[in-house]
């Protein structure tokens, strides 16, 4: 198999990996903030449920969560699984998993804010939502960006776990070609793809971080 043909076959897998990456971020970042609010809730029931959720999501492998989300509807509720559900299951599993990690990152950032910030906002006449979204959240984003960057870079590599439910992303197709052609070239191409993807993410996040360093 020529290199051009190999790249054409791998291109579809690359697009699926990129799709998993962006859809996961699209849903997990806002969902993580909602979960963070639940984790910091004064209601012990809500706080307990959310704390247990975060503990389970962070304490069990993402691979296992993928299998539960995909096979769960059939084994638990007897709902037949269609082929089109594979990618949806990947989106769901990745989103709820990464939302738990982002929730704890948000919480760390919010709790690091001094009480003086809230007191100053109250003196200026801000209500609680205005205080959070106009004063606290912008500063939290600046503080948590390095931690978020680490999770986003990990997400790029974790997209390869979609093979568990037979989603043909980059790594799955690379394995198939390597097995049929008995060559390491697909793995080398996959490694280059993941490295370049992560490099782009790191550069973009670094630019954002520099832009937020408004005191320099």
Helix (H, G, I), strand (E, B) or coil at 41: coil
Where helices occur in the chain by DSSP H, the ranges are 3-39, 44-59, 62-77, 85-111, 115-123, 128-130, 137-158, 170-181, 185-212
Residue 118 has pLDDT above 70, yes or no: yes
What band does 23 get if pLDDT is binned at 50, 70 and 90?
very high
> What is the C-alpha to C-alpha distance for residues 41 and 198, in angstroms, rounded to an integer?
35
92 domain-assigned: yes
198 domain-assigned: no
177 domain-assigned: no
24-28, 165-169, 197-201: which is most confident: 24-28
The structure tokens listed for 187 are 């793995």
What band does 216 get if pLDDT is binned at 50, 70 and 90?
low
- Nearest Cα to 90, choosing from 176, 12, 11, 21? 21
202 domain-assigned: no
> What is the C-alpha to C-alpha distance for residues 6 and 51, in angstroms, rounded to an integer?
46
Measured in Å, how far apart are the chain's first and last C-alpha atoms? 53
pLDDT for residue 22? 95
Overall average pLDDT of the 47-54 stretch: 95
The DSSP call for residue 168 is -
pLDDT for residue 107? 92
Domains in the chain: how many in total? 1
What band does 5 get if pLDDT is binned at 50, 70 and 90?
confident
> Number of C-alpha atoms within 13 angstroms, CB side, residue 124?
12
Cβ contact 93:61 at 8 Å: no
4 domain-assigned: no
- Crossing angle between the packed helical segments 137-158 and 185-212, to the nearest 10 degrees: 180
Quick one: what percent of the chain has pLDDT higher than 70?
Answer: 97
CATH number of the domain that 67 lies in?
Answer: 1.10.3720.10
73 domain-assigned: yes
204 domain-assigned: no
Residue with tokens 């069990």: 60
pTM score = 0.88
7 domain-assigned: no
pLDDT for residue 1? 65
Domain hosting 34: range is: 17-169
């Amino acid at each position: 198999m020529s290199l051009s043909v190999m790249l054409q076959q791998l291109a579809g897998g690359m697009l699926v990996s990129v799709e998993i990456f962006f859809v996961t971020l699209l849903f997990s970042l806002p969902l993580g903030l909602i979960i963070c609010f639940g984790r910091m809730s004064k209601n012990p029931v809500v706080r307990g449920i959310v704390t247990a959720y975060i503990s389970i999501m962070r304490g069990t492998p993402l691979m296992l969560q993928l299998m539960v989300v995909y096979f769960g509807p059939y084994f638990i509720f007897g709902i037949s699984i269609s082929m089109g559900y594979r990618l949806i299951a990947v989106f769901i599993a990745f989103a709820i998993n990464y939302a738990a990690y982002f929730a704890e990152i948000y919480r760390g950032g919010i709790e690091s804010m001094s009480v003086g910030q809230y007191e100053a906002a109250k003196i200026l006449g801000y209500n609680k939502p205005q205080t959070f979204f106009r004063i606290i959240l912008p500063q939290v984003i600046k503080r948590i960006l390095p931690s978020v960057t680490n999770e986003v870079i990990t997400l790029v590599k974790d997209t390869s776990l979609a093979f568990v439910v037979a989603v043909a992303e980059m790594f799955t197709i690379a394995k198939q070609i390597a097995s049929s052609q008995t060559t390491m070239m697909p793995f080398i191409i996959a490694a280059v793809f993941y490295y370049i993807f992560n490099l782009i993410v790191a550069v973009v996040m670094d630019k954002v971080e520099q832009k937020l360093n408004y005191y320099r």
